[in-house]
Amino acid sequence: MEFVHKSVLLDETVDGLNIRENGIYVDGTMGGAGHSFEIATRLNGTGRLICIDQDADAIAAGTKKLEIYKDNVTIVRSNYCEIESILDELGIDKVNGIMLDLGVSSYQLDTAERGFSYREDAPLDMRMDQRSTVTAKDIINDYSEGELYRVIKDYGEEKFASSIARHICRARQEKPVETTFELNDIIRASIPAKARAKGGHPSKRTFQAIRIELNKELEVLSNSLEAMINRLDDGGRLCVITFHSLEDRITKTIMKRCENPCTCPPSFPMCVCGKKSLGRVVTRKPILPSEDELENNTRSKSAKLRIFERKF
């Protein structure tokens, strides 16, 4: 299956990076290389682009798509949380822009055997990096009821988390839960019929929660954003596309803190903590997809773009 992924907020993100032809840019989540291709096009053969992805299929697809720009593009199979060591290895101190397009790609959702989608029957996998030995099946079958409740409640914001966790534990006593459709049936039985009738697919939130837990998505995001801002040159920008409220909240909070890191009480006449601003939040409110994009790409529905600019 070909790696196809419609890039969300493509122009808005690449415009937000303020591309300089001779600049150095990082796409921390290359995926199908839609954003990367547009960045490389604007570099005009003189700048440099570093593309990072942990998915082997994305690496193969991105390498093929960016072939015409190979002299200016470096592709690394890794997680974007390793950005500092990647830049160090490449001998790069500061960059002019970094972008992240978070969440799961269309390709990953549409490739049934990857186990990301509740719409296709497949083994419970959900690994973004297939070198990992732990899968969604391990979480479903090995976590305690309390741990499952925490994951589904915190990462899925699912109000029936307690019932779903209880039903999963009950079902796996009979036999291990191994496929996406088996998990669907358990979730459906955990949610009252009246609640199932509205609000989309009943499994959506639980699948999101298991995927986030397995791939440590929020932990990686929380631990990476400030480090990325610190690697930006003066005037360099960080663009982050999020797809649910938890990612957006983390991004918004960290960008705000980097703009105003002062920890002094408001009553102090002047700052004594010595923490200096790293720059400014460009987007007071997130940039959302246009009506056209929403019409042409339903998966852009919950996308939000936030931008931070580094200032020395």
pLDDT at 252 > cutoff 70: yes
Say whether pLDDT at 278 is over 60: yes
28 inside domain:
yes
Tens digit of pLDDT for each residue in 76-114? 999 999 999 999 999 999 999 999 999 888 888 889 999
Per-residue pLDDT of 17-58, as tens digits, reads: 999 999 999 999 999 999 999 999 999 878 999 999 999 999
What pLDDT, on a 0 to 100 scale, did the predictor assign at position 4?
53
In this predicted model, what pLDDT tens digit does every residue of 169-218 receive, in sequence order?
999 999 999 999 999 999 999 999 998 888 789 999 999 999 999 999 99
Q: Are 130 and 103 part of one and the same domain?
A: no
Q: What CATH number corresponds to the domain at position 32? A: 3.40.50.150
Inter-CA distances, 115 with 81, 137, 138, Å: 24, 10, 13
Q: How far apart are CA 74 and CA 310, in angstroms?
A: 24
- When pLDDT is averaged across residues 119-137 and rounded to a whole number, the result is 96
Q: What pLDDT is recorded for position 104?
A: 86
Average pLDDT taken over every residue of the chain: 95
Residue 162 domain boundaries: 114-215
Q: pTM of the predicted model, to two decimals? A: 0.93
Same structural domain, 57 and 128: no
| 101 shares its domain with 226 | yes
Note the pLDDT of residue 180: 97
- Condensed to tens digits (0 to 9), the pLDDT of residues 214-248 reads 999 999 999 999 999 999 999 999 999 999 999 99
Q: What CATH number should be reported for the domain holding residue 140?
A: 1.10.150.170
Q: What pLDDT, on the 0 to 100 scale, is given for residue 41?
A: 96
DSSP 61-121: HHHHHTGGGTTTEEEEES-GGGHHHHHHHTT---EEEEEEE-S--HHHHH-GGG---TTS-
Average pLDDT over residues 139-149: 98
pLDDT value, residue 2: 52
Lookup: tokens for 272 = 């004594």
Give percent of the chain with pLDDT exceeding 90: 88
Q: For residue 127, what is the DSSP state?
A: -
